[in-house]
Structure 1
């Protein structure tokens, strides 16, 4: 059957129009998916059956596909904001159907330098890069395309070594921001007194001051639910051997206290390079010495109604895990039990199994902890690229 010229031209134009529509449709779809995309669950890729939990507890995937998931902050409308260190992205995920599994994900910032720290207050997301702090106003209503952030400050030290920050608002409504030492071991305060400290400020960046000194590198802190005292983890120095020094859990009871770095470690161990300058008796000892090189990050207290009463008022710690021991340790969630005076009485595993003891391979490294309103516990993992949810079923 022959096709006349007019029919051929019409069909050709129709096919060309359909091709243009198809390409434009794909472009629009790709643009939309760059801002919002469904979180794909990949439970089978993470062997959660290898994890050891106390009787009655259960761990599941809350969100997957967040490359290098690190610090977490929860928004007022249920949006979980997740900072990263590896890729320079900041994510938002949301459980829109109430099944405690995130089903939507947005990349709200990219191309940043170690945007580890996130905090949420009064509808705004605060995001800490190495030397600057940004504020995203009305963020939960602008997840598809956030407005240009407000610059709070850009004058903190720029050193990348221990430059990533964990930030949080305290019970005094101040924003707490640490500044890690720019080295393994050095007296960095000779360069800038803010190094090896925890600072705090108003939400607009004013009235900045130093809260604690002698803090090598804290990437996690919180406040006791009753005393309101600041508790923080600190990563011990390297290159003193497999078992020395310990990492630390510390408590601030007065403004400006000094916790030993670089002169003293673990409350009693003089540093081989700086220990002859000041005695350990000059400094505040740890509440609890943790394992050597376990890289403790987040610390949180359980104040919810889900976990048994025996866990209330005690400190959960995410140990990221060692990289500098002949045999790795850490890669677990630990529990430090405290007495009525806030002093440690025990240090024991809560969840472990991310590290295979025989092969020395780990499928995950815990980073941050966050308790949800229902009392369940979220754990971020920057190797598994996941957020886990721990529940107690009794």
Structure 2
């Protein structure tokens, strides 16, 4: 794979990384000790660092988006589209071999967001956030009558998933993606200017904060916590520094809309997918700027007078926050998880895992992503270069279009033992990654 990056910041490296991927020497079922969870003999076809193994918890469950794991090891998965009338799947492992042997479900709505906090399960559709009371086994009760926490959020099909996370003070944060690529008067249309100011930002293109214990809140009861974020599917609350972190999907169509400024290669490699730490009132700059990982700076969008080199201007992204990490373009970061478990080696403690769903718009180049990356953190800041952690989801051979990928990572969750769960919304596979240290 070709790379053409130069003068990059310390925290940016191209997709071809020097990180060595290895495989775990796997045991067979005959070697299994009572109570042990063993990886699949082929590591579920994944490439992992030495000492790690993987197994498939379940397969073909539906369009699996985000997921959570309760204290008993039950996996609750939000489906983008309900399957057999169920939008949330519960996978249970009664014989404790790591693989689901029971599957039930509830909730007749699709969507992406799901999270556990205290005595409640929260889940989102593309317009609402619901809450379910948990029983002593951390499974939802009264599944037919959830509380409605938030309703009436924008769903105009584009960037409509409502990812959610809670802080430590009973607040819930909801992504409301922009129903636009770059806030043009006519979306994704050549020669259509960008709207200034971008009126979409009044109700989308940012993170909204609501109270987690109040009912039927709408925009008026919430607060626009951060703006200038085109679309955030992956977000997490970092307990180490008590802050919200988000992964933004970068814009598309630079060559299609401005062929005089960007060739197909530049359009495939720009702009960066970006990791931000966001505080209340922050602005990440969309649609006025994008982040160029090659130049290491914010660049004025061509819809607002940019030429691929001009930097942000006053009123057009000059005061926008900078990303903490810039990843290659168009890889679609769909989840973010700060690891707090004790199973993995010390280097992973408090670090960030990112699930990359994979690109659709890098033609004529190969599509990229379809993997889980890792960013080491110390004291709430990246402490080294990002690296590929789990690869091989897409299968063998080049991926020229998303349909060529066998699996596409979407959600991340940490199990009570510290194992890492990964969902796939292409074939409905749930993976579990474990560490043996052998």
1:188-227 to structure 2, matched below 5 A, reads 190-191=199-200, 193-203=202-212, 204-205=214-215, 207-227=221-241
The unaligned stretches of length 5 or more in structure 2 are: 1-38, 184-194, 255-266, 292-296, 307-312
1:39 paired residue number: none
1:346-365 to structure 2, matched below 5 A, reads 346-356=385-395, 358-360=397-399, 361-365=404-408
1:342 to 377, 381, 386: 381
1:305 to 321, 333, 342: 342
**Is structure 2 residue 133 aligned with structure 1 residue 137?**
yes
1:1-394 to structure 2, matched below 5 A, reads 48=43, 50-75=45-70, 77-87=72-82, 89-110=87-108, 112=109, 114-138=110-134, 146-186=143-183, 190-191=199-200, 193-203=202-212, 204-205=214-215, 207-240=221-254, 241-252=267-278, 254-266=279-291, 267-274=297-304, 278-326=315-363, 327-340=366-379, 342-343=381-382, 345-356=384-395, 358-360=397-399, 361-394=404-437
- Report the CA distance between 1:181 and its aligned residue: 0.3
- Report the CA distance between 1:339 and its aligned residue: 4.4
C-alpha distance in 1 between matches for 2:378 and 2:210: 31
Which of 1 and 2 has higher RCO (CA within 8 Å, sep 6+)?
Answer: 2
Q: Check 1:311–1:66 CA distance in 2 against 1; reply closer, same or farther (3 A cut).
A: same
Q: Check 1:287–1:211 CA distance in 2 against 1; reply closer, same or farther (3 A cut).
A: same
| Count of matched residue pairs | 348
Q: Check 1:294–1:138 CA distance in 2 against 1; reply closer, same or farther (3 A cut).
A: same
- Report the CA distance between 1:338 and its aligned residue: 3.1
The unaligned stretches of length 5 or more in structure 1 are: 1-42
- Whether the 8 Å contact between 2:71 and 2:138 is mirrored in structure 1 is no
Three-state SS of the structure 1 residue aligned to 2:347 is helix
Bigger Cα Rg = 1
- Whether the 8 Å contact between 2:178 and 2:200 is mirrored in structure 1 is no
- Whether the 8 Å contact between 2:68 and 2:414 is mirrored in structure 1 is no
- Whether the 8 Å contact between 2:73 and 2:415 is mirrored in structure 1 is no
RMSD between superposed Cα atoms in Å = 2.6
- Report the CA distance between 1:270 and its aligned residue: 1.8
- Whether the 8 Å contact between 1:108 and 1:145 is mirrored in structure 2 is no
- Whether the 8 Å contact between 1:108 and 1:143 is mirrored in structure 2 is no
- Whether the 8 Å contact between 1:288 and 1:344 is mirrored in structure 2 is no
2:4 paired residue number: none
C-alpha distance in 1 between matches for 2:234 and 2:352: 12
Cα deviation, 1:90-147, whole Å, max 9, x if unaligned, reads 211122232222221112023x2x4211122343322211122222334768879733
Cα deviation, 1:303-328, whole Å, max 9, x if unaligned, reads 11110011112211101100111211
Cα deviation, 1:239-261, whole Å, max 9, x if unaligned, reads 12111111111111x31100011
What TM-score, normalized to structure 1? 0.81
Q: Which moved more, 1:135-144 or 1:195-204?
A: 135-144
Larger proportion of helix: 1
Q: Check 1:313–1:143 CA distance in 2 against 1; reply closer, same or farther (3 A cut).
A: closer
What TM-score, normalized to structure 2? 0.73
Q: Which moved more, 1:315-324 or 1:65-74?
A: 65-74
C-alpha distance in 2 between matches for 1:197 and 1:312: 29
